[in-house]
Amino acid sequence: MEWAHLATWVICAIATAAVIARPLNWPEAIWAAGGAMLLVLLGLMPPGDALTAIGKGLDVYLFLIGMMLLSEIAREHGLFDWVAATAAIHAKGSPARLFLLVYIAGVVTTTFLSNDATAVVLTPAVFAAARKAKADPLPALLACALIANAASFVLPISNPANLVLYDGTMPPLGRWFGSFALPSVAAIVVTFVMLRWAERQRLAGTCASDVSRDPLSLGGKAAMLGIGVTALLLIIVSALDRPLGWPTCLAGAATTLAVCALTRRSPVRAIRSVSWSVLPLVAGLFVLVEAMDRTGVIAHVARALRAASVDPVSGAALSGTVLAFASNLMNNLPAGLIASTAALQAHPPRLVIDALLIGVDLGPNLSVTGSLATILWLQAIRREGQDIGFWQFLKVGMVTMIPALAAALGTRLLIG
């Protein structure tokens, strides 16, 4: 049994490292799904348990499908180009002002539609805005990536990982704001200040201000309405403490079909354009987490969490910090799943759980593969012909994530 556990650990570690490093430049999904399949083929995990693990991610898959459908139908009908032109016009020739507008848009999108929506829906519009304004797109694109995590605990729906960590015990919105309103503000402000400083050279000078803007088409208006209705629906569903997957998927599908009916176009093109590879990536990560659970590692994490919680304040600071950095070693989705399962076993104080949530949400800003939202963002910019390497992102992440994490955790601990 010990050898089986060791082999499981080795495969999980290699698969996770490959997701981060992307050997041979192969997509992340190949490594995550490949590691999961290898566990089954070698008899280290029964096929039934693997299928059960995949089934645990159903709500996440549905959520992502809905968001990706919204993104593609909006792209196809020119909504992103219209938003891009609007942002470029209001930037008035200033790259710094364009950066600020993008950051504010990212805060709003993440808050009401989730960090994955910022990665999938907002990023293409931001790239188009920078292109129209003839500005360096990198600062604005980095703003999309970092705000997607920095603002991801303003509301419970701001990050699906929030719902995973508070499995069955999601606090009311009043309690949520009491815990996270000030830490969220701290994370958002500090991330902006540090990123603005880090990118100060690229934001100097001027950009184009005489940008033309075509009227928004009927399909674009319908797509915008669909996105707005989806945001309202998610707020209502979250307030009722219900899963977000099916409502998001149905809203995305309904918007796609409605827009296609209005414009008399086939939905096949939008469906084909969806980055479906993200689904096996997520499924593979769920299987890897289940495999690690079978080795008893989560029981060890639960014991460590229980011991750290003897002093809630120091335990919260330590737990949140460790999880923040661990999320970059194995992606925050499996890290959050492990933390959630361990918390259910350890029953730590609410302060510790809150610190874990801040860590799993904000910590991934350190690396380009730290969160699912950042991976989605990376896929989005690659589609536009842009790429950002691991080390390039890490340099920015070190400047922004560490002070933002300290500010958010410190603020939460001061609240008590």
- DSSP H helices in 22-93: 28-41, 47-55, 58-76, 79-91
Give the model's pLDDT for residue 234. Answer: 80
Q: Which letter does DSSP use for residue 120 in this model?
A: I
* pLDDT band at residue 54 under the 50/70/90 scheme: very high
The string of pLDDT tens digits covering residues 362-373 is 999 998 878 878
- The amino acid at 189: V
Q: Degrees (nearest 5) of the Cα angle 352, 415, 191?
A: 85
* pLDDT band at residue 166 under the 50/70/90 scheme: low
Give the model's pLDDT for residue 85. Answer: 76
The pLDDT of 316-332, averaged and rounded, is 88
Q: Is the pLDDT of residue 11 over 80?
A: yes
The string of pLDDT tens digits covering residues 227-242 is 889 888 887 887 777 7
And the tokens for 347?
Answer: 């029953």
Give the model's pLDDT for residue 50. Answer: 93
And the tokens for 339?
Answer: 């933390």
Q: Is the pLDDT of residue 42 over 80?
A: yes
And the tokens for 338?
Answer: 């492990």
Q: Is the pLDDT of residue 300 over 70?
A: yes
Give the model's pLDDT for residue 164. Answer: 67
Contact at 8 Å (CB) between 140 and 113?
Answer: no
Q: Is the pLDDT of residue 171 over 70?
A: no
- C-alpha–C-alpha distance, residues 343 and 335, integer Å: 12
Give the model's pLDDT for residue 119. Answer: 82
Q: What percent of the chain has pLDDT over 70?
A: 96
The overall average pLDDT reported for the chain is 86
Q: Is the pLDDT of residue 170 over 60?
A: no
Q: Which letter does DSSP use for residue 170 in this model?
A: P
And the tokens for 101?
Answer: 């507008």
Contact at 8 Å (CB) between 124 and 385?
Answer: no
Q: Is the pLDDT of residue 180 over 60?
A: yes
- The amino acid at 12: C
- C-alpha–C-alpha distance, residues 405 and 271, integer Å: 38
Q: Is the pLDDT of residue 87 over 70?
A: yes
43 conformational bin, left if phi > 0, alpha if psi -120 to 50, beta if neither: left
Whether the model clears a pTM of 0.75, i.e. scores above it, the answer is yes
Q: Which of 114, 198, 176 is nearest to 148 (CA)?
A: 114
Residues 6+ apart with CB under 8 A from 228: none
296 conformational bin, left if phi > 0, alpha if psi -120 to 50, beta if neither: left
Q: How far apart are the first and last CA of the chain?
A: 44
Q: Which of 416, 346, 396 is nearest to 195 (CA)?
A: 396
Give the model's pLDDT for residue 163. Answer: 66
- C-alpha–C-alpha distance, residues 121 and 224, integer Å: 11
- C-alpha–C-alpha distance, residues 398 and 305, integer Å: 26
Give the model's pLDDT for residue 168. Answer: 47
Whole-angstrom Cα Rg for the chain: 21
String of DSSP letters for 51-70? HHHHHTTHHHHHHHHHHHHH
Handedness of CA 34, 38, 40, 44 (dihedral sign): negative
More confident residue, 241 or 27: 27
- C-alpha–C-alpha distance, residues 217 and 99, integer Å: 26
Distances (CA, A) of 15 to 8, 80, 97, 275, 335: 11, 35, 41, 21, 14
Of 7-11, 119-123, 312-316, 376-380, the range with the highest mean pLDDT is 312-316
Residue 210 burial class via C-beta count within 10 angstroms: exposed 0-12, middle 13-18, buried 19 and up: exposed
The string of pLDDT tens digits covering residues 235-266 is 788 777 777 789 989 999 999 999 999 999 99
